């Protein structure tokens, strides 16, 4: 059984309180374009744009996750009886009634002289609620696309502290409601995960990330703010259920 050890952090105010209110609603984090700590977020919903192949155009403003010794425990559900999806190097529990929207491997798109080569997928896993308004995604990205390092990252702390890594994982302008460093006991010791929950007036998201073998595994769950009160615990639980294998 996993043993979780929490280092708690409270919500952080909007990191750009003086920015003119001409920006669009919270754009989507974690669409696959990341380089030199840049992200592009060009749609009005989080984690759900499959048509956008992002290019790096906009540097994100600083996002922060300040420490606090006394944050309330995270409310999560027991996901033991949910369907468990196994991907390449990870597993994640899927909320009941969510539909599998994961792209199949396309072996016709990358033929070369050296044999078949699969077309890279935008999402390693993607599930949606029946009405499509709630999303659970998993992304896998090389850590050297998230942060330039001389050595291959083996742990998420290699990308920086919880506060420093918020600049990578949380889109600029988002309000961070909570941020945690979570240690989970595995067969070979403890693995560190970073958890962020953030949003704006329209969208609410939970993100859970870890690093293994130079790759970042990022689980995200999102819903409209109007649905988070009723379904937020379920979505948060789905994101936190991700395990790196």
CA distance 85 to 155: 23
183 within 8 A of 4, measured Cβ to Cβ: yes
Q: How many CB atoms lie within 10 A of CB 12?
A: 22
Q: Name which of 210, 205, 244 is nearest 223 in CA terms.
A: 205
Are residues 4 and 210 in contact, defined by beta-carbon separation less than 8 angstroms? Answer: no
Tens digits of per-residue pLDDT, 12-48?
Answer: 445 444 444 444 444 444 443 333 333 323 332 333 3
Q: Is 128 exposed, middle or buried (0-12, 13-18, 19+ CB in 10 A)?
A: middle
CA pair distance 134, 101, nearest whole angstrom:
12
Q: Which residues contact 160 (CB under 8 A, 6 or more apart)?
A: 147, 167, 168
Mean pLDDT of the chain: 76
Phi-psi domain of 223 (left: phi exceeds 0; alpha: psi -120 through 50; beta: other): beta
Label residue 84 left, alpha or beta by phi (over 0 means left) and psi (-120 to 50 means alpha).
beta
- The pLDDT tens digits of the residues spanning 184-221 come to 998 888 999 999 999 999 999 999 999 999 999 999 99
Please report the sign of the dihedral spanned by the C-alpha atoms of residue 41, residue 47, residue 53, residue 59. positive
| Domains by residue range for the chain, with CATH | 83-111+120-244 (3.40.1000.10)
- How far apart are alpha carbons 133 and 98 in whole angstroms? 11
As a whole number of angstroms, the distance between CA 83 and CA 208 comes to 19
Section 94-103 average pLDDT: 94
Confidence band, pLDDT 50/70/90 cuts, at residue 232: very high
Number of neighbouring beta carbons within 10 Å of residue 71:
16
The phi, psi pair for 64, rounded to 5°, reads -130, 155
Say whether pTM exceeds 0.85.
no
Map residue 143 onto helix, strand or coil: helix
Q: Are 28 and 41 in contact (CB under 8 A)?
A: yes
Q: With bands split at pLDDT 50, 70 and 90, how would you rate the model's confidence at 243?
A: very high
């Amino acid at each position: 059984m996993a043993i979780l050890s929490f280092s708690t952090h409270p919500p952080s105010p909007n990191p750009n309180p003086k920015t003119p209110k001409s920006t669009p609603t919270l754009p989507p984090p974690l669409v696959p374009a990341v380089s030199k700590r840049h992200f592009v977020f060009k749609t009005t919903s989080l984690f759900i744009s499959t048509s956008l192949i992002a290019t790096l155009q906009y540097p994100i403003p600083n996002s922060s996750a300040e420490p606090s010794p006394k944050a309330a425990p995270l409310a999560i559900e027991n996901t033991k009886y949910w369907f468990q999806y196994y991907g390449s190097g990870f597993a994640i529990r899927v909320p009941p009634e969510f539909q599998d929207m994961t792209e199949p491997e396309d072996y016709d798109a990358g033929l070369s002289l050296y044999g078949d080569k699969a077309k890279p997928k935008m999402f390693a896993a993607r599930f949606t609620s029946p009405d499509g308004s709630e999303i659970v995604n998993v992304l896998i990205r090389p850590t050297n696309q998230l942060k330039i390092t001389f050595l291959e990252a083996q742990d998420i702390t290699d990308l920086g502290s919880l506060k420093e890594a918020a600049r990578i994982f949380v889109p600029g302008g988002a309000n961070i409601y909570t941020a945690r460093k979570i240690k989970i006991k595995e067969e070979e010791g403890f693995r560190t995960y970073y958890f962020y929950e953030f949003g704006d007036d329209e969208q609410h998201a939970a993100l859970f990330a870890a690093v293994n073998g130079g790759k970042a595994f990022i689980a995200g769950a999102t819903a409209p703010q109007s649905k988070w009160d009723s379904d937020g615990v379920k979505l948060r639980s789905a994101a936190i259920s991700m395990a790196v294998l």
